Structure 1
Amino acid sequence: MTSIELKPPSATLLALEPFRAAVDYVAGQAPLTFPLPLGDGHPVLVFPGLGVSGAATSDLRQRLQRLGYEVYDWEQGVNFGPNGDHDLQLELLGDHLKQIHSLHRRLVSLVGWSFGGIYARQLAAKYPELVRQVITLATPVDDNSDATHAGWLLNVLSSGIAPMNLESTPHLDAAPSVPCASVYSKTDGIVAWEGCVSAESPSHRNIEVEDVSHFGMVHHPEVLRVVADLLAQDSHGSPLAVTQAVDR
């Protein structure tokens, strides 16, 4: 997708992000008011967002596990972004992906939140023979590093880590050949939603979820519904599972 001039979300959305994220978290803890499709047991690898570890995605992983998937954390600790040897980071993540694929002998779905989605896309581009699909949540797939507050936020939270430079990441918008879906919200307070979408194609879908915060992406029930629906589809986008309610 051709890069366009983008701006970060407004100061208002940024200021409201903590409050709205708390609201999304609470909404995610309430009983579901709609049924979810049960999974077919294939493995799912989940990547955390910038500045957080797998602990931040544990809630999402537990819910997907209860739906019947074999769910894995990325196991690389805190995601500090493209600092240091990015090729080495991808190699380590690739080894983890290979291990999961070898254990289950099935293609692996990759779910990446925020910058974690960049790693998911890059791995899928590098190892398409191992990947079933890629689902990104509020991920800046456009290579415009000025369209996000994420770098500034990480530098504030990291206290001493070298400033993040998205432009230093090779092939930031790697285009995988496997099916991809980009889930985004126009009320994202961290990443410009316009940078989260790519051109629609038979292998790529852009899916909007309304009134969801950036940090609420891994908790909001509507996001869970979208992810569950996508995981329950085969490589051609056809449903695999009968939809039914599950206990929280």
Structure 2
Amino acid sequence: MSKIEHFLASSKAALTQTELARRIQLASGDYTQEEMGKPSFLKFMGEADLLIEPARRWLRKFDLPKAERPQTVILFPGFGHGPSRMRYMAQLLEEAGHTAKDWGQGRNWGVAEETLQGLEARLLDVCKKSGGQVALVGWSLGGLYARELAKLHPDCISKVITLGSPFSGSRRSNNIWRLYSVITGESVDEPGIDTDASEKPAVETIAFWSPNDGAIGPRSAAGKPGERDRAIALRCTHAGFTYDPKAIMAVLAELDRAPAM
């Protein structure tokens, strides 16, 4: 290896170590007060239920109600997940009579202006092709994107449904923020877009939350009056919002509910 190659390799390694140290620093610190309300470690461990879910699907049988108000629905995955995580819900929505669309952005690797712009284009395209308004269903971080899109293009959207999405209160009232900082290299105090996550979109907005959520604090996902129109409690894990029968049936019921005037 030449001296130049050795220098470049050493510099790259140093930069990598420096960046890793910076990310670890972002995820460090005592934020006890800001983390109040986050789920317990025991509930967080309950999220391992996700590992056995695929096997249960073979035994599960749904008595799906037929959609009274068939519509186009865009599904938004949570942090670190892509359309495949929402595919089971999409399949059941389709069987009930709805048209399910993925968000078109691959895996959700955090809050970014570029992603939001891509979602705007995706929303306008789906809205145009469907010939009317569409409903947005977002799980976890995906729900935050759904809310932001509804603020930008309310005329395209019939309603927004969030599933365990942390739009209210402290950005550290959850068990994910440290991992988020390490993976994205961004502080939760400085998200990739300039927004007030708790501001309610100008469309009907329904927030599902669960006391059994092991990732997101229940109050953060339920929100306060004025931050959403209605908050509905379910008893499922955080991952379970995407596959638990109670969650699927609740989403179907909301899609059939006529939008509030």
Q: TM-score range by the shorter chain?
A: 0.7 to 0.9
Aligned counterpart for 2:167 among listed residues 134, 141, 166: 141
Tell me what 2:5 maps to: none
Shift of 1:155: 5.9
Verify the 8 A CA contact 2:138 2:144 in the aligned structure 1: yes
- When the two chains are superposed, the root-mean-square deviation of aligned CA atoms in Å is 2.3
Residues 204/127 of structure 1: CA separation in 2 closer, same or farther (3 Å cut): same
- Higher RCO (Cα < 8 Å, 6 or more apart): 1
**Secondary structure class of the residue paired with 2:208:** strand
Tell me what 1:97 maps to: 123
Aligned counterpart for 2:256 among listed residues 213, 232, 240: 232
The AA in structure 2 aligned to 1:234 is: A
Q: Structure 1: how far apart are the matches of 2:243 and 2:250?
A: 12
Aligned counterpart for 1:111 among listed residues 137, 148, 165: 137
Shift of 1:90: 1.4
The AA in structure 2 aligned to 1:106 is: G
Q: Structure 2: how far apart are the matches of 1:15 and 1:223?
A: 20
Return the TM-score normalized by structure 2.
0.78
The AA in structure 1 aligned to 2:76 is: F
Instruction: Give per-residue Cα distances to partners, 1:113-172, cap 9 Å, x unaligned.
Output: 00000000000011101000000001011141111122334467xxxx433433222212
Aligned counterpart for 1:219 among listed residues 243, 254, 258: 243
Shift of 1:196: 0.8
Shift of 1:92: 1.1
The AA in structure 1 aligned to 2:203 is: V
Identical-pair percentage: 25
Verify the 8 A CA contact 2:64 2:96 in the aligned structure 1: no
Tell me what 2:189 maps to: 167
Which deviates further from its counterpart, 199-208 or 143-152? 199-208
Q: Structure 2: how far apart are the matches of 1:44 and 1:118?
A: 16
Q: Structure 1: how far apart are the matches of 2:96 and 2:146?
A: 21
Q: Are 1:187 and 2:209 matched, yes or no? A: no
Tell me what 1:12 maps to: 42
Instruction: Determine which structure has the larger helix proportion and give its number.
Output: 2
Runs of 4+ in 1 over 6 A off after TM superposition: none
Shift of 1:105: 1.3
**Secondary structure class of the residue paired with 2:39:** coil
The AA in structure 1 aligned to 2:178 is: W
**Secondary structure class of the residue paired with 2:108:** coil
The AA in structure 2 aligned to 1:45 is: I
Q: Structure 2: how far apart are the matches of 1:22 and 1:178?
A: 35
The AA in structure 2 aligned to 1:219 is: Y
The AA in structure 1 aligned to 2:229 is: H
Q: Structure 2: how far apart are the matches of 1:25 and 1:36?
A: 23
- Structure 1 residues not aligned, in runs of 5+: 238-248
Tell me what 1:196 maps to: 221
Verify the 8 A CA contact 1:52 1:79 in the aligned structure 2: yes
Verify the 8 A CA contact 2:83 2:106 in the aligned structure 1: yes
